[in-house]
Structure 1
Amino acid sequence: MAEKTIYSLDRRPSESTTDTESYEPRQQEGDYAAWLTVMGSILIYYAASGLMNSFGFFQDYYSKELLRHTPAPNIAFIGTLQMALCNIFASISGALCDRHGVKYLYIGSGIGMVISLLILTYIPPSQFLLVLMTQGLLLGLSIAFAAQPALTVVGQHFKDKRALVMSLVCTGSSLGGIGFPLMFNKLVPQVGFSNAVRIAGLKIALCYSIALFLSTSKPSNNPESKSRAPLIDFGGFRDFRYAVLCVGMWFAILGLWIPAYYIKTYTAAAHGNNGISQYFLCMINGCSIVGAIFAGLMGDRIGRLNLLWPMVLVSGCLCLFLWLLSTSIPTLVLFISMYGFFSSSVSALPTSIIGQITPDDKLGARTGAFYSLITTASLGGTPIAGALISDANSRDGYRWLILFSGTALILGSVFMLASRLLHAQDLRKKW
């Protein structure tokens, strides 16, 4: 019996970013190998992005122990450098995945992560530059060559369910953002920081090994054309929908990570040391899992861009109204729970939105080009916020930090709405 051919609702010729780009019919998606690849990508995101999402723990630990004489914005720069490198090299790593698959990218990334963590365990106190070079530069580069390919390889297998499966992959990041802080909080008092980091390295090596076994890259329909394709493709910016969405993401990323980085130090300043604050980062990431799954399911149903801009808008309003005006621990718990849920869309949806207006063979290169321009926002957001703290020991000292985060997110949602209107002015249409 002939195999049924289907056409994606997200892939109409009129949605191409150029007049010369065409779309071909494709076969039924979601076979056994595809779902194994999703599982592999979840493991990669757990190990790579999950560790990066756990930097709030390092921010707190370094400010009290290893780098206690270093200003908070400088420490935050270590974490933002990781994110910036992921954005800078996303175009290259995504295009390399398009060309050669994920095998060698995963091997190199896994080895680099383990080596950087081992080096980190031997750095003496107060050596900020060594920590920056090891955890910021080397670890950031290692993560960069796995994070984008983990999404790209999933995009090669799925079209109709792309938002859902990419959201599932992003839950790995949130799971890691829960698992690593819990592990560090438990192990550091018992075995010390260095041994805890070494154990994390073993955990990461195991995740990469399993992911390497599970993941398969989808062969190109036109290998010769793909081999001539550029590693970085900025051609998508000729499409105003793509360009305006990038501006919106720039503002959103500028404010996105500030609560995760500073909520623990804010709580200590506003309410003193308390036992529950050490779980705040885990709460944010835990609620992000639910939010990412919700974003994937609803994004495929009502439109990914239709869902993205209001969720980012709510995230900004939560900062300006709930966090800024909070006066108690229960209010903060409510804030971080809701913020984790709504802000997860910023990680879960944009790649699948880009896929709607990008040919399959250019998805990695154009997604990477998109995120490479967001580098300055991820690099500067949390350090700028740290510099806005007028008094690290009082609640009022964080006012401008909170205003900065909320305003950036709201501005991002405005540009995302503009991108949505460029697709179609009727907001009831699925986009």
Structure 2
Amino acid sequence: MSTPFPSNETAMQAPENVSQLVKDAGNPSLVDLSDTLGLPEGGFDAWGTVLGSFLIQFCGFGYVSAYGVFQDFYTQTYLTNFTPSAIAWIGSVNAFLILSVGIVSGRMVDQGALYPVMKIGCLLQCFFLFMLSLTKPDGYYQIFLSQGIGHGIAIGLTNVPSIAIVSHHFQRRRAVAMGIVVAGSSLGAILHPIMLNNLINGRLGFANGVRASATLNGGLLFIANLLMRTRLPPRPKAVSYTRVLRNSSRDGAYMCACVGMAAFEFGYFFEAFYLHSGSFIGRLTVGFVSAYVGIPNTIVGSSLISSAVLFAMIGLHSAASVAVIAASYGFFSGGVVAMMGPVISILTPEISHIGARIGIAFAIAGIGSLLGAPICGAFLTSHYIWWKAVIFAGSVATGGCIMFVSMQFILEMRQRSSRVCSKEADV
């Protein structure tokens, strides 16, 4: 049974309490809003929402992460008159829209419109996949419109809401719950390529193979909509994006996190489109790791190792080395992806702004996903000159790691300042 909504008096006091507690965000164990906001931290509705969100991520970002299969098929068979860089724009625009549309869908969740947003987004995902199955060879713009733009907007309507809604049910276990949710996209990144490769390059062919995958996704999305539950009442007044943007731009830790995420996404989609990897284990376990070392420490460590593994791609020379690097990058990059939602949530003073703040952060991160694969594809060329693209992607990703370190430094300074103020108040 869900915990009752907080009283009016508690609701009025919550923002002030949250603002005070968030100063200690460098240590997640100190941030416990569940008592203040009456979060249930479990129950059928809560874990059902986690499972539903897991399925949303599996069918959404998980499908996009399998774009490498489409990249290979388009390059070798379906769009032979176009360069790898041009083809990569389809996947990168798709990924960019998934993240940037969160500005709209995240705000709508804050206003209590979760259910209509999810239904529309899920229906459009199936629709545009069926439209993709009707495209013809060398029909670049048909594929770009259906898969790149249409499918990207559709998934974008469900992506941020499926992550933000977890905050309605969890605080102490939020990192673990969000880790499970985003693990869905990684499991999708493992299973969808296997399925699509066998369907598209097998007996069914491109059209019927895409239709089969659309049917499977449609069934899973239907189940997800039955499981997901919102909990907090909608705000009587719409969230002011002007206010959220103003407050966000003044938050140094938040801005560092956003830029760091954009830089990380740059390298992540280069590796995902051209090498392929799955990060299911990394995304699933990182939530438990963060419970001990803290969310900021987890994202800093994961981004640092991920950047190093990107540079290691220079040494690719055999199938074994490809497998080792893909597995290593998949595991540690999964830690960064899994922590994107939780790290923004601990940097958000007001829980009613979580959807908006995650949407803004993901939109900024989408710039990296938009530019990463095409620019690296231009460095790669049709001759697949790996070292140029690897150095560029690795350098940008390292810059993202530096921004995460800066975020952690700001949080540490806030924590120290909070301790000093507490001591002075006691005196």
Provide TM-score, normalisation by structure 2.
0.87
1:126 CA drift (Å): 0.6
CA contact 1:101–1:217 (8 Å) conserved in 2: no
Amino acid paired to 2:107: A
CA distance in 2, matches of 1:110, 1:14: 36
Amino acid at match of 2:379: L
Provide structure 2 residue ranges, at least 5 long, that are not aligned to the other structure: 7-13, 25-32, 417-427
Cα deviation, 1:1-46, whole Å, max 9, x if unaligned, reads xx999x9xx95615369xxxxx771324212110000000011111
2:102 equivalent in structure 1: 90
Letter in 2 for 1:26: L
Alpha carbons 2:97, 2:153 under 8 Å: kept: yes
- 1:328 aligns with 318
- Shift of residue 203 of structure 1? 0.8
Q: 1:139 aligns with which of 137, 144, 151?
A: 151
Percentage of matched positions with identical amino acids: 26
The answer to whether the aligner puts 1:399 opposite 2:387 as a matched pair is yes
Query: Which residue is 2:343 aligned to?
Result: 353
Tell me by how many angstroms 1:180 deviates: 1.4
Q: Paired residue for 1:228?
A: 238
- After TM superposition, give the deviation of residue 127 of structure 1 in Å: 1.2
State whether structure 2 residue 25 is matched by structure 1 residue 15. no
Q: Does the residue aligned with 2:45 lie in a helix, a strand or coil?
A: helix
Q: Please tell me whether the aligned partners of residues 11 and 356 of structure 1 are also in contact (alpha carbons under 8 angstroms).
A: no
Residue 210 of structure 1 corresponds to which residue in structure 2?
A: 223
**Higher share of residues assigned helix:** 2
Partner SS for 1:190: coil
Q: Paired residue for 2:421?
A: none
Q: 1:48: which partner in 2?
A: 60
- Cα distance in 2 between the residues matched to 1:426 and 1:96: 31
Structure 1 residue 192, shift from structure 2 partner: 0.8
Look up the match of 2:399. 411
How far did residue 201 of structure 1 move?
0.9
Which whole-Å CA distance do the structure 2 matches of 1:410 and 1:11 have between them? 32
1:211-241 CA distance string (max 9 Å, x none) = 1111110122x732xx321357312221111
Q: Secondary structure of 1:373's match? A: helix
Within 5 A, what are the aligned runs for 1:184-195?
Answer: 184-188=196-200, 189-195=202-208
Which stretches in structure 1 are left out of the alignment for 5+ residues?
18-22, 264-280
Look up the match of 1:289: 280
- Displacement, 1:86? 1.7
Distance 1:134 1:108 in 2: 16
User: How far apart, CA to CA, are the structure 2 residues paired with 1:205 and 1:412?
Assistant: 36
User: CA offsets per residue over residues 342-363 of structure 1, 9 Å max, x none?
Assistant: 0012211021111112111000
1:368 alignment partner, one of 359, 363, 368: 359
Decide which moves more: 236-245 or 53-62. Answer: 236-245
Amino acid of the structure 2 residue aligned with 1:293: L
Instruction: Find the residue that maps to 2:380 and give its secondary structure.
Output: coil
| 1:251 lines up with 2:263 in the alignment | yes
Selected match of 1:162 from 174, 189, 211: 174
Query: How far 1:374 moved relative to its partner?
Result: 2.5
The CA deviation string for residues 343-391 of structure 1, in whole angstroms up to 9 with x for no partner, is 012211021111112111000011111122223221111100000124x
More moved, 130-139 vs 312-321 = 312-321
- Cα deviations across residues 37-93 of structure 1 (Å, max 9, x unaligned)? 000001111111111111010000000111111111111111111111122211210
Q: So what's the TM-score if we normalise by structure 1?
A: 0.86
> Does structure 2 conserve the Cα–Cα contact (< 8 Å) formed by 1:106 and 1:208?
no
Is the alpha carbon distance of 1:124 and 1:217 closer, same or farther for their aligned partners in structure 2, counting shifts above 3 Å?
same
Match runs of 1:253-272 below 5 Å:
253-263=265-275
Please give the per-residue CA displacement for 1:187-216, whole angstroms capped at 9, x wherever unaligned.
221111110100111111101110111111
SS at match of 1:324: helix
| 1:248-297 superposed Cα distances (whole Å, 9 cap, x missing partner) | 1121111111112112xxxxxxxxxxxxxxxxx3xx21xx1110122111
- Of residues 367, 373, 379, the one that matches 2:370 is 379
Q: Distance in 2 between matches of 1:249 and 1:196?
A: 33
Q: Kindly tell me: are residues 248 and 197 of structure 1, through their superposed partners in 2, closer, same or farther at Cα, counting changes over 3 Å?
A: same
Q: Is contact 1:230–1:365 with CA below 8 Å preserved after alignment? A: no
- Contact 1:291–1:345 (Cα < 8 Å) also in 2: yes
Q: Give the count of matched residue pairs.
A: 391
Matches within 5 A, 1:93-104: 93-104=105-116
Distance in structure 2 (CA, Å) of the matches to 1:371 and 1:238: 18
Partners of 2:99 and 2:159 within 8 A in 1: no
Contact 1:91 1:231 in 2 (8 A): no
Aligned residue for 2:78, secondary structure, equals coil
Q: Which residue of 2 aligns with 1:199?
A: 212
1:241 corresponds to: 253
The RMSD of aligned alpha carbons is 2.4
